Amino acid sequence: MAEIDRYRPDDKRGVEALYRRVFGHDAAEASRLRWEWQYRRNPNNPGHEPEIWIAREGPAIVGQYATMPVKVAIRGQQVQGSWGMDVMVAPERQRQGLGEVLFRTWDRHVGASLGLGLSDSSYRLFQKLRWPDVGPVPCFVKPLTRRALRRPNWPVAINRLVSALTLPVVKIVARTRPLAAEVRLIQRFDDSFTQLWEDLSTKFNFAVRRDAAYLNWKYVSAPHVRYSIAALRRDDHNVGYAVYRHLHEPRGRVTLLVDFLADPDDPAGFSTLLRWIDREARQADSDKIRAFAMHAGFRRILKRSGYFQVKSTMEFVAKVNAIEVEPDFYQDTDTWHLTLGDSDQDR
């Protein structure tokens, strides 16, 4: 039977080899590029010891559960949470109970065990272990050009027809609107964003603590992607932010609204940030903007700003261990704040 314990520095090569076997060469290379940043430099990991559990059989590594420690505000209390991320079991050892032992070991050590954007096998295992199923996190798309509605699996003639028919609607949705407050591009999050988090955190029944240290780690020093950051300002104070980037997808150019924070009870604030993103997306020649949002207030403002809700594949499970919560806590997620920036979804 395998033994489970914490990651040690000399496990690196064994873990990399297993990662290549389970996820393939490209994913393994991408993981290698992120590894130091993702596991050692996380500010919620002050000892710099990666929060990774390893399954060993003698000298062989047959599984791992690699996680991202985060502080989570849950109904006004701070809990030591953990995103489960790169979980894997050697192909010849799968479906023999090892995954379950890894999931349970992780769960025993953390105040809240959280999973986002799961593979089919891990989602089924979470279900089998009866983790509360909270997701998926709703996905929203705002079309900016007639190319936004193209589908690669449709014939050219159908794509042209759909583009022509929907163009008037796209033109109305995508029209430029004035900004109601000042928005400024920033390079780093200063301490005022920690204060902003302190001011707003009680508005969310569930949200990862978005203090300056976390935000700078996640969105300024990530080695694999470059983000733009816009700060929303009122009376010389930072009262919100949006993190975004532009990329090419097979269906066209997309602007991803990766993360944001503003007062959900201040529609003018968040909609100003959205109007800023509209301009940036248009300047980058994007065909559409995509965002994920769980909070009902933010969802409402997204819809009013021309976003349409589309099918989401971002499954979300959460299990709170550190404090007592009733089962209906997991059902009423209207005041939970989750975005594409949570866990390691944007990679």
**Can you give the binding site for ligand COA, defined by CB under 6 A?**
22, 87-89, 94-100, 118-122, 124-125, 128
Question: Least distance from C-beta 36 to ligand COA, angstroms?
Answer: 21
User: Residue 344: which of 272, 266, 283, 258 has the closest Cα?
Assistant: 258
Residue 227, token pair as written in the block: 């983000």
Residue 210, token pair as written in the block: 């978005």
Query: Closest CB to ligand COA among 89 and 148?
Result: 89
Name the residue whose CB lies closest to ligand COA: 99
Query: Closest CB to ligand COA among 118 and 273?
Result: 118
DSSP 196-233: HHHHHGGG-SEEE---HHHHIIIIIS-SS---EEEEEE
Question: Least distance from C-beta 96 to ligand COA, angstroms?
Answer: 5
Query: Closest CB to ligand COA among 121 and 159?
Result: 121
Which residues make beta-bridge pairs with 276?
A: none
Question: Least distance from C-beta 18 to ligand COA, angstroms?
Answer: 9
Distance (Å, whole) CA 105 – CA 141: 38
Distance (Å, whole) CA 269 – CA 14: 49
Question: Least distance from C-beta 62 to ligand COA, angstroms?
Answer: 9
Per DSSP, helices labelled H in the chain are 12-23, 25-35, 98-109, 120-128, 156-173, 192-200, 212-215, 267-283, 296-304
Query: Closest CB to ligand COA among 50 and 240?
Result: 50
Query: Closest CB to ligand COA among 32 and 188?
Result: 32
Query: Closest CB to ligand COA among 114 and 302?
Result: 114
Which residues, 6 or more positions from 175, have their beta carbon under 8 angstroms from its beta carbon? none
169: helix, strand or coil: helix
Spatial contact of 227 and 185, defined as CB atoms under 8 Å apart = no
Which residues, 6 or more positions from 187, have their beta carbon under 8 angstroms from its beta carbon? 220, 229
Distance (Å, whole) CA 24 – CA 37: 21
Question: Least distance from C-beta 150 to ligand COA, angstroms?
Answer: 29
Query: Closest CB to ligand COA among 53 and 276?
Result: 53
Query: Closest CB to ligand COA among 139 and 302?
Result: 139
Question: Least distance from C-beta 94 to ligand COA, angstroms?
Answer: 3
SS (H, E, C) 86-115: EEEECHHHCCCCHHHHHHHHHHHHCCEEEE
Query: Closest CB to ligand COA among 52 and 118?
Result: 118
- 């009902």: which residue's tokens? 296
Question: Least distance from C-beta 294 to ligand COA, angstroms?
Answer: 19
Q: Give the CA dihedral 220, 257, 211, 31, nearest 10 degrees.
A: -50
Query: How far is CA 6 from its chain centroid?
Result: 25
Question: Least distance from C-beta 332 to ligand COA, angstroms?
Answer: 26
Question: Least distance from C-beta 69 to ligand COA, angstroms?
Answer: 17
